[in-house]
Amino acid sequence: MSINKAIDEDSNQNINSRLTWEGCNVLLDINDGDRLVFARLTAASTLKIGNKKCSLQPLIGCPFGSLFQVESGKGLILTRFVPNAEGNNLEEKDVDGSKDNRALVDNNTAQSLTSEDIDEMRKQGAKGDEIVEALIANSATFEKKTLFSQEKYRVKKQKKYAPRVLLRRPFARSICEAYFKKHPDKIGFMRVDALSLLLCLGNVTSNADVLLVDMLGGIVTGAIAERLGGTGYVCNTYRGSSPYPVDITRMFNLSDEICKRIVHASLTDLNSSQTGASVSVNQEETLPVTHSGNLEEVGVSAEDGGMDITPEKVPSPIIKPCKSIKAGQKAPLEAIKLWKENGFSSLIIAAPEQDPWGIIKEVLPLLSFSAPFAIYHQYAQPLATCMHNLQIEKMAIGLQISEPWLREYQILPSRTHPHMQMSAFGGYILSGTKISSSEPVASSN
């Protein structure tokens, strides 16, 4: 058994790279999921913590998965934090039942350090960890707490005085999860398990030619492009004169090679019988996704509960327009010609405000025979009508409406149970396979 050599030759821009590079997109997980921020790493990009900004420069060239602690020196500085291999050994310690909360009185006098004291410590250059230790030492009730609540107290103070930033690779999963958590309406309430199903039922794989209607801001486009890995095409089609925005693709770490595979073509162009110069009607080459080296940041903040997609203008002239994303060019004419001759190999529709039947009856003829399709919707009824019509018109077989259900568990000694809160709805998917319309002639035998 030999190992595929290709895997060792990751270029910097490769989606599989384990290290960050200047200009790459990252997902910053602040304090264990309390806040999620998408950022582009440049020498000038910053992260706002509290009311102060700290430079993201130290994160460039670091392995994904590395942890940073915010230290206040001259301003805030992110320094590498290496956890010990022991991990959290709380579980091994005897879970002592001897302590409970009978002696705890909530009268706000347990902590003898005042905020002035803490400010003074900071001025003298105390590190976040030292402040946490001081708070514990000055807490009158800490020793009386159970081990679990001691740990809880420590984590709470650490989050406040020594916040930690975890460096993550943004992938379809983390992007979808982040949106679903804070701004589900922007992605049509599509949970990550529904997106997973959509990609599988749509048979998205390298070299596929995927016809897509993405009215969810580009989350599906990006997820498909990620799986195409710079082969095949994902062609976003649209009615009217301008393509639907695919801004979310900017949060993925898609290489130029992959971005070239994200194209768009109007339904008119795809349906027109001519395959020539007449196709190029829409001259708008300025696309909603082209942008320069500005820092794009989507703050998913637990504090304000909101997520803003506000391109933050970085005033510094130092930044060279790094890796401007070219996702969403017009489909090349040769490609359109080939699709007309051969048909697309998959069809995915994610337009939860539209009538699915209205869309599929127009785009299904563009799909190859025996090719699978998957339609996402947040309402069951329009999908039911669509499925019924597809059956009546004998356009497809293997039709199924399904709804994924996802439950997370807390796994702890003697305390294993499902999470108390869960998402009760992540969307419906109608899937099926297109069939050839020609009726067979009865065999003579």
Partner 1 sequence: MILPIDPANKLSFKRCIKDGDLVIVYERHDTMKAVKVSEDGVLQNRFGAFKHSEWIGKPFGSKVLSNKGSFVYLLAPTAELWTLVLSHRTQILYIADISFVVMYLEIVPGCSVLESGTGSGSLTTSLARAVAPTGHVYTFDFHEQRAASAREDFEKTGLSNLVTVGVRDIQGEGFPDEFCGRADSVFLDLPQPWLAIPSAGKMLKPDGILCSFSPCIEQVRRSCDALKSHFTDIRTFEVLLRTYEVRQKILERCPVNEEDSNKCPPRKRRQGSAEGSNGNECSSSPTVVIRPSGEARGHTGYLTFARLKCFV
Site for partner 1 in 235-294 (CB under 8 A): none
Q: Is 11 in the site for partner 1 (CB under 8 A)?
A: no
Q: How far is the CB of 365 from partner 1 (least distance, A)?
A: 10
Among 28, 197, 220, 351, binds partner 1 (CB under 8 A): 197
Q: Which two tokens stand for residue 375?
A: 């339609």
Q: Is 207 in the site for partner 1 (CB under 8 A)?
A: yes
Query: Rule CB under 8 A: which of 337-366 touch partner 1?
Result: 341-343, 345
Q: Is 425 in the site for partner 1 (CB under 8 A)?
A: no
Identify the three-state secondary structure at position 195.
helix
For partner 1, the closer of residues 76 and 192 by Cβ is 192
Write out the DSSP string of 37-90. EEEE--TT-EEEETTEEEESGGGTTPBTT-EEEEEEESEEEEEEE---TT--GG
Q: How far is the CB of 191 from partner 1 (least distance, A)?
A: 10
For partner 1, the closer of residues 137 and 397 by Cβ is 397
For residue 325, count other CB atoms closer than 10 A to its CB. 20
Q: Pick the piece of the chain touching partner 1 (CB under 8 A) from 4-12, 49-57, 68-76, 270-278.
A: 4-12
Task: Specify whether the backbone of 181 is left (phi greater than 0), alpha (psi in -120 to 50) or beta.
Answer: alpha
Classify burial at 175, counting beta carbons within 10 Å of its beta carbon; exposed 0-12, middle 13-18, buried 19 or more: buried
Q: Which of 117, 111, 160, 161 is nearest to 136 (CA)?
A: 111
DSSP single-letter state for residue 6: G
Round to whole Å and give the CA distance between 227 and 209. Answer: 12
Q: Is 436 in the site for partner 1 (CB under 8 A)?
A: yes
Among 228, 248, 300, 336, binds partner 1 (CB under 8 A): 228
For partner 1, the closer of residues 1 and 103 by Cβ is 1
Using an 8 Å Cβ cutoff, are 329 and 260 in contact?
yes
Among 50, 65, 305, 306, binds partner 1 (CB under 8 A): 65
Among 208, 246, 307, 350, binds partner 1 (CB under 8 A): 208
Beta-carbon-side half-sphere exposure of residue 83 (alpha carbons within 13 Å): 12
Q: Is 402 in the site for partner 1 (CB under 8 A)?
A: yes
Query: Rule CB under 8 A: which of 27-46 touch partner 1?
Result: none
Q: Is 381 in the site for partner 1 (CB under 8 A)?
A: yes
Binding characters for partner 1, 133-152, by CB under 8 A (x = yes):
--------------------
For residue 121, count other CB atoms closer than 10 A to its CB. 16
Q: Is 18 in the site for partner 1 (CB under 8 A)?
A: yes
Q: How far is the CB of 77 from partner 1 (least distance, A)?
A: 20
Round to whole Å and give the CA distance between 62 and 303. Answer: 28
For partner 1, the closer of residues 281 and 380 by Cβ is 380
Among 110, 121, 155, 200, binds partner 1 (CB under 8 A): 200
For partner 1, the closer of residues 273 and 436 by Cβ is 436
Q: Is 376 in the site for partner 1 (CB under 8 A)?
A: no
Q: In whole angstroms, how far apart are CA 113 and each of 71, 105, 118, 135?
A: 20, 18, 7, 7
Classify burial at 81, counting beta carbons within 10 Å of its beta carbon; exposed 0-12, middle 13-18, buried 19 or more: middle
Among 36, 37, 39, 192, binds partner 1 (CB under 8 A): 192
Using an 8 Å Cβ cutoff, are 188 and 220 in contact?
no
For partner 1, the closer of residues 136 and 401 by Cβ is 401
Query: Rule CB under 8 A: which of 88-107 touch partner 1?
Result: 88, 91
Q: How far is the CB of 133 from partner 1 (least distance, A)?
A: 23
Residue count of the chain = 445
Main-chain phi, psi angles of 429, to 5 degrees:
-130, 130
Q: Which two tokens stand for residue 202?
A: 């749509």
Round to whole Å and give the CA distance between 193 and 199. Answer: 10
Among 135, 195, 224, 325, binds partner 1 (CB under 8 A): 195
Q: 394-418 burial string, b = 16+ CB within 10 Å, else e? A: ebbeebebeebeeeeeeeeeeeeee
For partner 1, the closer of residues 226 and 297 by Cβ is 226
Among 108, 124, 273, 443, binds partner 1 (CB under 8 A): 443
Q: Is 61 in the site for partner 1 (CB under 8 A)?
A: no
Q: Is 411 in the site for partner 1 (CB under 8 A)?
A: yes
Q: Is 334 in the site for partner 1 (CB under 8 A)?
A: no
